[in-house]
Amino acid sequence: MSQQQPQPDLVADGSPPATQQPSSNCFAAVIENRAKEVGVAVLDLNSLTLHLTQFIEAGRSYTTTHLLLDAHQPRQLVVVGSLHHEVAGAAGVNQVTAAAWEQVHLARSAFDDTKGILAVQELTGWNDMGASSGINNIGGAGAAAGNAPAGAAGRVLAKSHYLAFGAAGALLQHVRTHLGLAMAPRALQVEFDGVKHHMAIDRDAVTSLELLAPTRSRAALQKAIASTASASGAAAAAAAVLQAAQQDMPLGTQGTAPTRPIAGTQGGYATGSSNYTRGRRRASCKAAAAASCSSSKGSSSLFGFLNHTATACGARLLRTNLLQPLTDITTLELRLDSLQELLESPHLTLELVSLIDTLPKNLDKVCSNLAVRPSGSAGAAAAASCKDPSVQLGRLVSSVILLRDVLRCLPAMADSMAWVDSPLLKAIRANLGQGELQQLLQETEAVLDDDAQASKTQFVNKVQQCFAVRAQVDSLLDISRATFTRLTEAIHELAAKYRASTGIAALKVQYSSSKGFFLVVPEQQQGRQQAAATSMHGKGYGGGGSVAAASALQLPKTFLVLEKRGRNSTCVTTHELNALNSRLRDAAADCMMLTVQVLEQLVSKLLQHMPLLQRTLDNIALLDVLLSFFQAVAGSEGDFCRPVLTPAGPLAITQGRHPLLAALREPGFEVRPNDTFVTPCATLHLLTGPNMSGKSTYLKQVALLVVMAQIGCYVPATFMSLSPYISLHTRIGTSDSIESNASSFMVEMADMARLMARAGPRSLVLIDELGRATSTADGVALSWAMAEYLLALGAHVLLATHFRQLEELAAIYPSCKLWRMQVELQGDDIHYTRSIAPAAAEADSACSHYGILLARTAGLPQHITERAMQVAQQLEAKQQQQHLRQQQGQPRSERCLGQVYSLIHKLGCVARQAAAEGLLPDTAAAADTASAPAGGVEAAVAAAAALQRCQPLLAGLKQQAEKLLLQAAKQPQGAA
């Protein structure tokens, strides 16, 4: 291959590489067929987990594929080569992923599912029971260790994930051949990830909702908030926003916490401070938290607000959860039970926080350092590193030390959780306190010396490597180390002898991997030697001559000059020192070879327990995420509540607050809570109000609270209830696309086309300002048609708009509700209350021309705004006259029947909802009858009578139905 391959995060000396992103040691492969079926395989080299997923893409944008890849952030993406396409449309997934990820093209033959199954079997040990090779082996021996599905289930998964196994075969071939990495047998675990248990979030929503990274700088946002808090009125607010826009700049990934801590810290993802003491890592990471904008009181992304994790694997799990929230109520309830117990037992939680801070910062590399080795097939550099005993020994020593440090922390964590009650915390405690883990610790400590550690000094690191194994474990190793020690002492004794014989008291002994031990003579000592030589022989040296000649005369004849380090010192050696270096090099090689043999035997035993170690890391990551939720909730002001999850029900939020806005607030800035109530009877909610009144913020607030609830976290509200959504779609903001030569209107329509193609009845859709980039008539017409489509679809839609014509949707469709952000007029100034309230379509707003008022405060000339007000009033008067003429021409009977239709629709919605919840299983027929137009008012009364268990809810509706029935009976027959 012509392109340079990235090297995975495998460091010989155990020191973690510097990085700025949450762990990105993943590689992926993707393939699709004619039926738009996509197979995805993702290999995480840190946790040694192979994720396999196969699904059908619903649209041409490949949103599900993007979401899965975004959750793992692969460093490379293996795809079918452009010259090897054998199926129509195979280039589709290649084209849509080319801009986001670096692609590696392999032949179509590499994506063979049978070869992929065999490769997976080899690395997982699924065929250890002696069955014949093939699909039937899946679920064999590995199932006992929890690393594979059972036999019959494994065969079903192999048949249903044939594309995923083909992608896995190509991915493993790429890792082995091009990256030069070899994995130990039985070290890999396989997870079959399904998309049906996760909420799908489109990529635009991830950006617009600021789930992972902020869209503006924290300083500019805080300055805008402070300016808005210190001054009231539209003029001050507009000035603050303009000033913030001038100072704004995109931060990219600065909102995410770094995966590696700064020097001297004890954790990779610490953020900020809270009302609780977070341990020494919280204090040492204060500078890192300030740099990453992720403190609990300065978070400008949801990831930064929630991320208080102490481990890299915990931060990765949190990031994955934010991109793929859960929809399984049972799993979410387990998390909420655990978080509730942590909040009710702060002493236990703080103890766990301090204990998890003691874990190694590169905890996630425990499994990969043990099982992944350079194979030497990726080039000469990799082959040389494989043959170098010091590199191999350094990797082994750091791997075993890391495992020992992790295992030593587990008993204290398990003991601190001895009295937990929630099932999830009990399961974590049981996994962390297993006796098998303690046996592994005993076996490791029996071989590894207590003082073994990695060092950045070359000779000290070599000594640590040679003495990493305890004494009396291997007799030959003890003899080699004794020889190594004697030779080292002999070199230092020889240096002392040279100091005494030459009179150079400052003679130093240093070591380098290339030269071995050598002597360093300071410059001032050379001057003294020159003076002594002059007084002894009666002659000196003038200013002429070369520096090398002068140095040669200044030094004793037995010293051989190696190099001269500027004007400060000279590096020298002797024949005797060279001989000792040669013997020392041989002794060190013997020690390293024997130490490698001992540690290889230990690692081979540890690899047999790899599934146990992987489950342990998964439990630590989950516990870290739960503790991070605790710190985010406990460290924030205001009420947080546990969301109530129901299989089918409304979205109800009482006194909900924007989590990021509350975290960024300044003194004197008040965060106004608002309510939300979206039901199957009212799925479309129109939100109107002046510019800058908070419509977009309210939409994002609802989405962020839903995401927090569906990852198992408490939400900033006094009450919240929801049925988990299966997808979240947003259309917020306008921008053109120069790359695709598309205007802002074209981009908006393309986004809406994808949105409507993927939205469903259990989708949450947020739309801000639809149809603004074209003419008013076309914008209103398109917005009206799209709103009607989403209304019929049954998706929960929040639509913010300035089009007054769309308010008539609330008068025509009972499932459409109209809301308005309240403002108060103070002369020509607008005071924003940031509160939402119901509104009527026909009612005149107290501030119907807020756009003109804002233009006046922004500095537009007064004669222009006055003329604009006159034109607006004339247009409004003409519109009102037309509306009155239409109302006067409508018979009273039609208005009455419209009310009857609205009532029938409401009763039908209530009946369906009750039947869906299992309250009234025998009323579905009555609901269908009530929804039929031919049923009339009698059907509505019958449906209301059938819903006896919903009497508190339907009593008022039944009375209205009876009144309307009497009114309809009084009408003439022709009108009826």
Higher pLDDT, residue 825 or 692: 692
Residue 296, pLDDT > 50, answer no
pLDDT band at 289 (very low <50, low <70, confident <90, very high): very low
**Is 952 exposed, middle or buried, given 0-12, 13-18 or 19+ CB atoms closer than 10 A?**
exposed
Adjacency order of strands within the sheet including 674-678: 644-645, 719-722, 651-656, 674-678
Task: Please state the rounded mean pLDDT for residues 336-352.
Answer: 92
State the fold for domain 639-847. Answer: Rossmann fold (3.40.50)
With CA atoms as reference, report the closest residue to 635 among 658, 656, 668, 659: 659
Average pLDDT over residues 129-157: 42
Helices and strands in the chain: count of H runs, count of E runs = 36, 23
Domain spans in the chain, listed from the N-terminal domain onward: 26-196, 302-455+594-633, 639-847
CA angle 463, 466, 468 (to 5 degrees): 100
Task: Determine if residue 907 is left, alpha or beta; phi over 0 gives left, psi from -120 to 50 gives alpha, anything else beta.
Answer: alpha
For residues 96-134, one letter each, b for 16 or more C-beta atoms within 10 angstroms of the residue's C-beta and e for the rest, the string is bbeeebebbebebebbbbebbbbbbbbbbbbbbeebeee
Query: What is the average pLDDT value for the chain, to the nearest integer?
Result: 74
Architecture of domain 302-455+594-633: Orthogonal Bundle (1.10)
- pLDDT for 261 equals 33
Which carries the bigger pLDDT value, residue 291 or residue 931?
A: 931
Report the 3 state secondary structure along 28-88.
EEEEECCCCEEEEEEEECCCCEEEEEEEECCCCCCHHHHHHHHHHCCCEEEEECCCCCCCC
797 pLDDT tier (thresholds 50, 70, 90) = very high
487-532 pLDDT, tens digit per residue, is: 999 999 999 998 888 888 888 888 888 888 999 888 765 555 555 5
Tokens of 190: 């396989």
Residue 569 has a pLDDT of 82
Residue 9 has pLDDT above 80, yes or no: no
pLDDT band at residue 161 using 50, 70 and 90 as cut-offs: confident
HEC-encoded secondary structure of 880-949: HHHHHHHHHCCCHHHHHHHHHHHHHHHHHHHHHHHHHCCCCHHHHHHHHHHHCHHHHHHHHHHHHHHCHH
pLDDT, position 290: 35
Quickly count: other Cβ atoms within 10 Å of residue 542's Cβ.
5
Name the nearest CA neighbour of 25 among 365, 303, 385: 365
pLDDT given for residue 577 in this prediction:
92
Complete DSSP assignment for 481-501: HHHHHHHHHHHHHHHHHHHHH
> For residue 681, what pLDDT is reported?
86
Architecture, CATH, for domain 26-196: 2-Layer Sandwich (3.30)
Cα–Cα dist 781/777, whole Å: 6
% of the chain with per-residue pLDDT over 90 = 21
Q: What is the pLDDT of residue 238?
A: 43
Q: What is the pLDDT of residue 232?
A: 44
Three-state DSSP class for residue 734: coil
Higher per-residue pLDDT: 251 or 208? 208
> Quick check: helix, strand or coil at residue 279?
coil
Listed range (168-182, 569-583, 827-841) with the worst mean pLDDT: 827-841
Per-residue pLDDT tens over the stretch 258-278: 333 323 333 333 333 333 333
Please determine, for residue 607, whether its predicted confidence score (pLDDT) is greater than 60.
yes
Cα-Cα end-to-end distance for the chain: 80
Nearest one of 682, 687, 666, 673 to 715, comparing CA atoms? 673
Question: What CA–CA distance (Å, rounded) separates 843 from 840?
Answer: 5
* Amino acid, res. 470: R
| pLDDT reported for residue 710 | 95
Tell me what the mean pLDDT of segment 794-808 comes to. 88
**830 versus 643: which is more confidently predicted?**
643
pLDDT at 962 over 90: no
- From CA 716, how far away is CA 738, in angstroms rounded? 40
pLDDT score recorded for residue 439: 92
Is the model's pLDDT at 313 over the cut of 60? Answer: yes
Report which of 175, 183, 179 is spatially closest to residue 6, judged by C-alpha positions: 179
**Overall average pLDDT of the 766-794 stretch:** 86
Q: Which residue has the higher pLDDT, 549 or 736?
A: 736
Going by C-alpha positions, the residue among 687, 679, 684 that lies closest to residue 721 is 679
- What pLDDT sits at residue 490? 92
In the predicted model, what is the mean pLDDT of residues 658-669? 70
pLDDT of residue 256: 37
Residue 188: name the closest of 242, 249, 116 by CA: 116
Mean pLDDT of the 231-254 span: 42
State pLDDT tens for residues 550-576: 444 467 888 888 888 777 788 889 999
Tens digits of per-residue pLDDT, 398-447?
888 889 989 999 999 999 998 899 999 999 999 999 899 999 999 999 99
Residue 260 to residue 18: CA distance in whole angstroms: 7
Q: What is the largest CA-CA distance in the chain?
A: 142
Q: What is the mean pLDDT of residues 215-234?
A: 52
Average pLDDT of span 359-373 = 83
Using alpha carbons, select from 733, 720, 658, 703 the residue that is nearest to residue 798. Answer: 703
pLDDT of residue 690: 79
- The stretches of 358-420 forming alpha helices (DSSP H) are 366-371, 380-387, 389-416
Measured in residues, the chain has a length of 976
pLDDT at position 938 is 57
Q: What is the mean pLDDT of residues 337-352?
A: 92
- Give CA torsion, residues 706, 711, 713, 716, to 10 deg: -20
CB 186 within 8 A of CB 607: yes
CA angle 284, 286, 289 (to 5 degrees): 125
Rounded-to-integer distance, Cα 308 and Cα 350, Å: 13
Pairing of strands 569-573, 560-565: antiparallel
pLDDT at 702 over 90: yes
User: pLDDT at position 426, please?
Assistant: 93
Q: What pLDDT does 540 receive?
A: 41
CB 960 within 8 A of CB 968: no
The stretch 447-459 carries a mean pLDDT of: 75
User: In 3D, which of 356, 357, 261, 299 has the Cα closest to residue 708?
Assistant: 299
Residues 250, 728: Cα–Cα separation, whole Å: 24
Q: 80 with 219: CB under 8 angstroms?
A: no
- Closest CA relative to residue 54, chosen from 70, 71, 42, 45: 42
* Whether residue 369 has pLDDT greater than 60: yes
Res 830 pLDDT > 70? no
Q: Band of the pLDDT at 845, cuts 50, 70, 90?
A: very low
Over residues 826-852, the mean pLDDT reads 67
